[in-house]
A and B are shown apart, each in its own frame.
Chain A
Amino acid sequence: MIENMVREFAEKEIEPVADELDKESKYPTEILEKMAPLGLLGIMIPEKYGGAGLDAVSFAIVIEEISKKCAATGVVTEVHNSLVSWPIIEYGTEEQKEKYLSILAKGEEIGAFAGTEPNAGSDLGSMETTAELDGDHYVINGQKTFITSGSEAGVLIVFAKTDKEKGHRGISAFLVESDMDGFQVGDIYDKMGINANHVSELFFDDMKVPKENLLGEEGDGYKIALSALDRGRIGIAAQAIGIAQRALEESVEYSQQREQFGRPISKFQAIQWKLADMATRIEAARLLVYRSAMAEDKGGNVSKYAAMAKLFASELAVDAANEAIQIHGGYGYTDEYVVERLYRDAKITEIYEGTSEVQKMVVSRDLLR
């Protein structure tokens, strides 16, 4: 029923505007406003804080259905629900949960996760942003980049070093509100795809953050970031499956309509095999996503399975979108057909929240420990 509800929502509210959002690089504010009362911005947030209190499998289902119609809205929703809400659920104090989870669940503010820096992507330990305790405040200075919803978010988890000598063990996590003094949004990037997602630079200039906004303990930041990214990767894998599924559905439909040599191109084995390969890999990827989500829900090695799911699903998304364009031929290369957008949107799934190479590191580290 959840899948049907989200599918219907996405068909009615997202699909009709997705092209416009992409072409005009418009943030999906109105869609998010409509998602909030349906509980889609508080999927895993417990009911006592205004969320739906659902599990990670449900989260993956929601993200896939949204991403099928607009991958950019998919990642905004994913980051809000997993990278931002989940660490607060897991590591937040009761006061932090009451204050921030209810805001996030109601969609009063959108969440962002500020970890990446110009010189610290996959290598979080090399981050340069600092947080110094000064009385009842931390003073944060530094810069972040490639932050999903960075220019739109009201609640952010910002990672900064409270101890520069300790490498990644010196990183701490802070709950930051965008109206805090010293918070500044930099450039919003022009990107290849997921254009409706505004990805920006952030600057912190003597930004004062109350001491009670420290998430977890000092030095917990690295652990919080990695465990949040594990959950996030389930979402990105689901997003990638949404893109791949759309590529498949568009290809099935087009190949039955497009006639060449007197018959629909779906009658040619070359096309049939492409469709069969896409469908088979999508099902396999979906099972891998559910496997990782179940590891989260029932207890298990989330890191390994989430990395496998993201690795497999993101590469599938790129391949499926590529094949979809091939099936559409010249038309697929134009913006008349959605497969062109799918191709541009798919590529980022191999990069953000850990590149494919990083996922392989995570998997192999688990195998060889």
Chain B
Amino acid sequence: MEIIVCAKQIVDVSDIKIDDKTNEPILKGVDDKISDIDKNAVEEGIKIKDELGGNLTVLLVGPSEATENIKELLAMGADRAVMVPWDGSSSYDVVSKIIAGAIEKIGDHDLILCGEASLDLFSGQTGPRIAALLDLPQITYAQSLDAEDEKIVGHKDVGGKVVSIESTYPVLVTVTKEINEPRLPSLMDILGASNKPMDVWDAESLVSDDLQPGLETVEIKGVPMERKKIVFHDDLDESIEKVVEKLAKEGVLG
């Protein structure tokens, strides 16, 4: 089983603060990390590899300094990494083309795993776009997977009902964070990660199309949330009633 997991480096969104005056996110001093759900994808890939055998390659298109973060995925248990430094447009269509090009260059691939979305922009587009570009079947939002040698079944809960989708290989699967608990690498694994192979490929060489984005990000702004500072001074029962009434009016309660 040849498994490729696509990963993205993002800013640690839990550390982002919004500028009071401009409403723009303050990114200065915020650490970078691998998007959390991508680690779920790596964890699932490792489990499938351990069960069925094979190799797991992690693929990251992003800023060149991401080579440090990609080592974390090698420490988790990936066999090899492919890093495509890309500081150009982060538009989904552009990045998806580069990832698809890199997958074609990697060659053999039975299973491509992606997180359902990255935690920064959470568009959920990249996985399906890659599947479309490579003309692969896809299973999206898998909350559990049953992988066998000849086929894979993904399960997802849609409003209380479980939908199961089966596919032969090759296939692209996007997973949700519920699928597993990503392992923490041991100190020994962390040290060993530096000795695993990491190829660095030039993005331009992977794509024949031009890399002009079809989408332009004009601005990113935080949504200000201000406290209403309403205090209810009545006795407890009456206050609760008023709180519920107020929340219902605000549309917070259904």
Whether the Cβ atoms of A5 and B188 lie closer than 8 Å is no
CB-defined interface of A22-45 with B at 8 Å, one 1/0 digit per residue? 000000000000000111100100
Q: Is the interface of B mostly helix, strand, loop or mixed?
A: helix
Chain A residues with Cβ below 8 Å from B184 are 5, 8-9, 38
Whether the Cβ atoms of A5 and B190 lie closer than 8 Å is yes
A2: interface (CB < 8 Å): yes
Whether the Cβ atoms of A4 and B72 lie closer than 8 Å is yes
Whether the Cβ atoms of A47 and B187 lie closer than 8 Å is no
Whether the Cβ atoms of B187 and A2 lie closer than 8 Å is yes
Chain B residues with Cβ below 8 Å from A38 are 184-187
Whether the Cβ atoms of A53 and B191 lie closer than 8 Å is yes
Whether the Cβ atoms of B71 and A1 lie closer than 8 Å is yes
Whether the Cβ atoms of A1 and B72 lie closer than 8 Å is yes
A58 nearest CB neighbor, chain B only:
B187
Measured between alpha carbons, how far is A9 from B187 in the docked complex, in Å?
12
Chain A residues with Cβ below 8 Å from B187 are 2, 5, 38-40, 43, 52, 54, 58
B148: interface (CB < 8 Å): no
B82: interface (CB < 8 Å): no
B104: interface (CB < 8 Å): no
Measured between alpha carbons, how far is A3 from B191 in the docked complex, in Å?
13
B178: interface (CB < 8 Å): no
Chain A residues with Cβ below 8 Å from B188 are 39, 47, 52
Measured between alpha carbons, how far is A39 from B75 in the docked complex, in Å?
13
Measured between alpha carbons, how far is A337 from B188 in the docked complex, in Å?
36
Query: Measured between C-beta atoms, what is the minimum distance from B29 to chain A in Å?
Result: 13
A47 nearest CB neighbor, chain B only:
B188
B68: interface (CB < 8 Å): yes
Q: Which of B184, B187, B190 is packed against the most chain A CB atoms within 10 Å?
A: B187
Q: Which positions in A face B, CB cutoff 8 Å? A: 1-2, 4-5, 8-9, 37-40, 43, 47, 52-54, 58
Q: Which positions in B face A, CB cutoff 8 Å? A: 33, 68, 71-72, 75, 184-188, 190-191, 193
Report 8 cross-chain contacts, Cβ distance below 8 Å, ordered by A residue.
Answer: A1-B72, A2-B187, A4-B33, A37-B186, A38-B185, A47-B188, A52-B187, A54-B191
Taking A1-B75, A37-B186, A39-B187 as known contacts, 19 extra A-B pairs with beta carbons closer than 8 A to each other, sorted by chain A number, are: A1-B68, A1-B71, A1-B185, A1-B190, A2-B187, A4-B33, A5-B184, A8-B184, A38-B185, A38-B186, A38-B187, A39-B186, A40-B187, A43-B187, A47-B188, A52-B188, A52-B191, A53-B191, A54-B187
